[in-house]
Structure 1
Amino acid sequence: MRIDLHTHSTASDGTDTPAELVRNAAAAGLDVVALTDHDTTRGYAEAVAAVPEGLTLVTGAELSCRIDGIGLHMLAYLFDPEEPELARERELVRDDRVPRARAMVGKLQDLGVPVTWEQVARIAGDGSVGRPHVAEALVELGVVPDVSGAFTPDWLADGGRAYVEKHELDPFDAIRLVKAAGGVTVFAHPLAVKRGEVVPEDAVARLAAAGLDGIEVDHMDHDEATRTRLRGLAGELGLLATGSSDYHGSRKTCVLGEFTTDPEVYGEITRRATGAFPVPGTGGRD
């Protein structure tokens, strides 16, 4: 059983539509895929309608958080998308995305980069605009070789020359809100050091004490030594250890199913969730 619990569609910063994503997941040989767009559930309806037979869809989101000045992402699975307090917080984060992206464009222009808001808006399309869209604009202009190359201190990494802060959840509040909505929380790529400063292990322990369910261990931004370290930390703190591709379509080099989650861990996630249930495919429709 192959399970990928972290993917993105055009509802945020992926390049596959939600329908294309679930079809591509099935074609890649996955049995379960989670749709976890940034701070939004906008892709749910399209994805649910298109789930092919043989694939199960897990609904979720990747929530933008910050602790002690350090950004982190919290994967939330199988929560009730209509729960009002969590929905309100997601809306606050989404509403801040456009002014933030415009401010990053302004900083890049001050640095001599001929990027425009119109270019970034075209790349984002109907998705929730974010740093990857600005990064892709830099790729188009030949400023950096690829999207990952834009996430450096020279450009868009946390604290970088063109970085702009946005509204983000306190992760303790995120855990509380997701649990109140019947969901399950997993700390995404916690030691992805190439993205910037990471949360120290003592903070992860505090999150675990507050009800965090798991940490994403097997991820493209974690080398083998890091994965071993995180697996040990998960064991010490009693956390679930997941694996995922963090698929963004053609925007990143990762592929669906590049890393996967153990079926027993997936089973525990579904047992803990009460806000929503996995959606088995019935053939889908266009």
Structure 2
Amino acid sequence: MRIDLHTHSSVSDGTLAPADLVRAAAGAGLDVVALTDHDNTAGWDAASAALPPGLTLVRGAELSCRWYAVDPPISLHLLGYLFDPAHPELAAALAGVRESREIRAKRMVELLRADGVDVKWDEVEVDAAGGSIGRPHIARALVRLGLVPTVRAAFESEWLGARYRVPKKDLDVFEALALVRAAGGVTVFAHPRATVRGRTVPDELIAELAAAGLDGLEADHEDHSPAEREHVRGLAGDLGLLVTGSSDFHGSNKTVRLGACTTAPDQYERLLAAAS
């Protein structure tokens, strides 16, 4: 079995609509694909309706979190799977993060326009196609204006990486973990050792999260070096956590392809068994 447990559609910051994403997953030879849009479950139904024969869909979301015990707080992402999207506290928390994303995006557009960059909010909004608006939508506007060659280049410090970056409200990671568990879901720490993305949390925090009910760690990911992958696997073994691998596919916003990294079938079975 080929199992990819981390992908994004146009409901958040991917470029493929949910229906097109599952068709692409089948075309890539996957047997199982998880749809894990940022703080959003709105693509689940469309993906399910378009699911090709032989492909299993795992419903999930990638929650935007922070560890607030340090100054400045460290950003991290928690993958939630198989939870009840109607759970009131979790649904309210995700709605709050989505609202914060939109407020942040509007402020970033304002800052760009104040410096003479002709990014138009209505064009960014249209590009988001009714999904959660994020920095990639602004990045694509910069590409269309010819100011940067790629979406990745737009995330450099002189653009959306620092100069025009505005913080957003994220969930406390322990709160997010508790909410997903209360909604019957399974939690996996996304790319926990991706030093290429910036600061990472210490192993001691991951041990605390495991004690609080964290189910797994994402080891195989394009942003992990071979040494970082092995470190995550060893830590998962020490803590009794399941291990996943996935592409973190974003369509044309990133170069990684569906199924670039995959999850072992026995670990997938552990994930399914952990859901309530």
Using the size of structure 2 for normalisation, the TM-score is 0.94
- Counterpart in the other structure of 1:195: 197
Greater alpha carbon shift after TM alignment, 75-84 vs 224-233:
224-233
Secondary structure of residue in 2 paired with 1:66? strand
The 8 Å contact of residues 60 and 75 in structure 1, kept in 2 or not, is answered as yes
Using the size of structure 1 for normalisation, the TM-score is 0.90
How many residue pairs match? The answer is 272
- Write out aligned runs for 1:99-248 (5 A): 99-157=103-161, 160-248=162-250
Secondary structure of residue in 1 paired with 2:231? helix
Greater alpha carbon shift after TM alignment, 126-135 vs 51-60:
126-135
CA RMSD of aligned residues (A): 1.5
One-letter amino acid of the counterpart of residue 41, structure 2: T
CA positional deviation for 1:111: 4.6
Secondary structure of residue in 1 paired with 2:58? strand
Secondary structure of residue in 1 paired with 2:12? coil
Aligned with 1:87 (options 69, 91, 101):
91
For residues 57-79 of structure 1, the C-alpha deviation after alignment (integer angstroms, 9 at most, x for no partner) is 00000111111311111100000
CA distance 1:145–1:223, change in 2 (3 Å): farther
CA distance 1:24–1:139, change in 2 (3 Å): same
The 8 Å contact of residues 152 and 195 in structure 1, kept in 2 or not, is answered as no
Percent sequence identity over matched residues?
60
CA positional deviation for 1:254: 1.0
Looking at structure 2, the residues matched to 272 and 91 of structure 1 have their Cα atoms a distance apart, in angstroms, of 25
Poorly superposed stretches of 4+, deviation over 6 Å: none
For residues 164-197 of structure 1, the C-alpha deviation after alignment (integer angstroms, 9 at most, x for no partner) is 1112111101111101111000111122223232
Structure with higher helix content: 2
The 8 Å contact of residues 107 and 161 in structure 1, kept in 2 or not, is answered as no
Aligned with 1:78 (options 82, 85, 102):
82
Looking at structure 2, the residues matched to 199 and 269 of structure 1 have their Cα atoms a distance apart, in angstroms, of 23
- Counterpart in the other structure of 2:24: 24
- Write out aligned runs for 1:54-69 (5 A): 54-68=54-68, 69=73
Q: Which has the higher contact order (CA 8 A, sep 6+)?
A: 1
- Counterpart in the other structure of 1:277: none
Greater alpha carbon shift after TM alignment, 6-15 vs 198-207:
198-207
For residues 185-243 of structure 1, the C-alpha deviation after alignment (integer angstroms, 9 at most, x for no partner) is 01111222232322222222221221111111111111212111211222222221110
Looking at structure 1, the residues matched to 263 and 75 of structure 2 have their Cα atoms a distance apart, in angstroms, of 24
The 8 Å contact of residues 32 and 57 in structure 1, kept in 2 or not, is answered as yes
One-letter amino acid of the counterpart of residue 266, structure 2: E
For residues 130-162 of structure 1, the C-alpha deviation after alignment (integer angstroms, 9 at most, x for no partner) is 1111122222223333222223333333xx221
Looking at structure 2, the residues matched to 58 and 173 of structure 1 have their Cα atoms a distance apart, in angstroms, of 23
Looking at structure 1, the residues matched to 102 and 39 of structure 2 have their Cα atoms a distance apart, in angstroms, of 13
One-letter amino acid of the counterpart of residue 53, structure 1: P
Looking at structure 2, the residues matched to 210 and 155 of structure 1 have their Cα atoms a distance apart, in angstroms, of 38
- Counterpart in the other structure of 1:278: none
The 8 Å contact of residues 11 and 128 in structure 2, kept in 1 or not, is answered as no
Say yes or no: does 1:257 pair with 2:259: yes
CA distance 1:142–1:226, change in 2 (3 Å): farther
Looking at structure 1, the residues matched to 24 and 272 of structure 2 have their Cα atoms a distance apart, in angstroms, of 23
**Structure 1: gaps spanning 5 or more residues:** 275-286
